[in-house]
A and B are shown apart, each in its own frame.
Chain A
Amino acid sequence: MYTDGTTGSLAERAARAFAAYRDGDAQAMSDLVDTTTTLLWHTARGQGLDPAQAEDVVQTTWLTLVQHAPSIHDPQAVLKWLLTTTRREAWATAKRSRREDVREELGEDAGAPTQSAEPEQVLVRGQEQVVLWKHFSTLSDRCQQLLRVVAFAERPDYAHVAEALGMPVGSIGPTRGRCLAKLRLALGADPSWDVAS
């Protein structure tokens, strides 16, 4: 997963696998699924879906890719396409299920789902994780969604992933972006975030 870019970014690996698949290499699609499913899972879960819904959304995204493969002209865009499709599908699913939950409450179903799904039980081990989670939890849902997925991407993918999740960061190079900057400010102000670097 996270290799600090030494094996090439996820976007590049995804592009190569997709190009090979389009050239008739069925195995390449299998590699693409192995490479990218983790990101898609966290994209779907971050949008407020329960695990069963998130599984459905991830599978639907892959099925949609099979159907739309001929229309994706630029293999370089396939990771972004996958993330965008997952996010949209998850958004629609969350909205549907929320509407079912609050059907009797008028006006409640007009907006997008806003709650960010936390794992059923957050396991934090050690001081670093405790402090990190404390500050991460105070970020906006949008920032939590973004950073959760970015955390599973590789460094060169940051801008790519952020853009696909609807939060473009700097156009030149992977700048930190506001969500990560907010987290860094909070961590910097907390003496218990003791980074021995």
Chain B
Amino acid sequence: MSEDLDRLAAEPLDAEDLLALGTLRAIFAASDPVPPGLAERSKFAMTVAALEAEVAQITAAGVEAAGVRTTTYDRAQTVTFSSAHLSAMITIELVDGGRARISGWVSADGPTAVELRERSRTQTTETDADGRFRFAQVERGLVHLLLRRLDLPDSRPVITPAIEI
């Protein structure tokens, strides 16, 4: 028995090993799946840590029925969030082609760089004199906004939790 074990242990893997491991994998994949969102939550935590960012709290989120239902967009969603140093509000409008438009406003006293982090790309803009900003073409999915005060380069950036577009 022990000799058999030693001999088997020293052999390379064969098709039956792969079948056994595949069967085991099927059992665990069905019985104990990786929680949905674990990878996304991990990435967010890593981003926050890497940027030493302050995480904004979402203070209000609501869906408003658009006044007129058109083919251009069928709903607008408003999300308000705040951190110790600023607050901001964004409005998400869905447009044709599965995309969205984001317009927003930042309460900070000075100009603010706004980064929109989508799954596979990052767009950047700056607030205008009234604190407003806009992204015209946003892919659907989870996004984060990252805000940096341009007049206070040493201040910590503010990142929002994931927002579903």
Contact = CB atoms under 8 A, between A and B. Distances in A.
A152 B5 contact: no
Contact of A180 (B17, B28, B41, B119): B17
Given A133-B27, A147-B24, A150-B21, A195 B16 contact: yes
Q: Is chain A's binding surface mostly helix, strand, loop or mixed?
A: helix
Given A66-B49, A121-B31, A178 B22 contact: no
Given A34-B39, A55-B35, A66-B46, A176 B23 contact: no
Contacts of B23: 128-129, 132
A63 B49 contact: yes
A38 B27 CA distance: 14
Q: Among A59, A147, A150, A155, find the residue whose CB has the most chain B CB atoms closer than 10 A.
A: A59
Contact of B20 (A132, A152, A158, A173): A132
Contacts of B68: none
A145 to B, nearest CB: 12
Interface of A: 1-2, 4, 26-27, 29-30, 33-34, 37-38, 41-42, 45, 51, 55, 58-59, 62-63, 65-67, 119, 121-125, 128-129, 132-133, 136, 147-148, 150-152, 155, 158, 169-170, 173-178, 180-185, 187, 195, 197
Interface of B: 1, 4-6, 8-13, 15-28, 30-32, 34-35, 38-39, 41-43, 45-46, 49-50, 119-120, 122
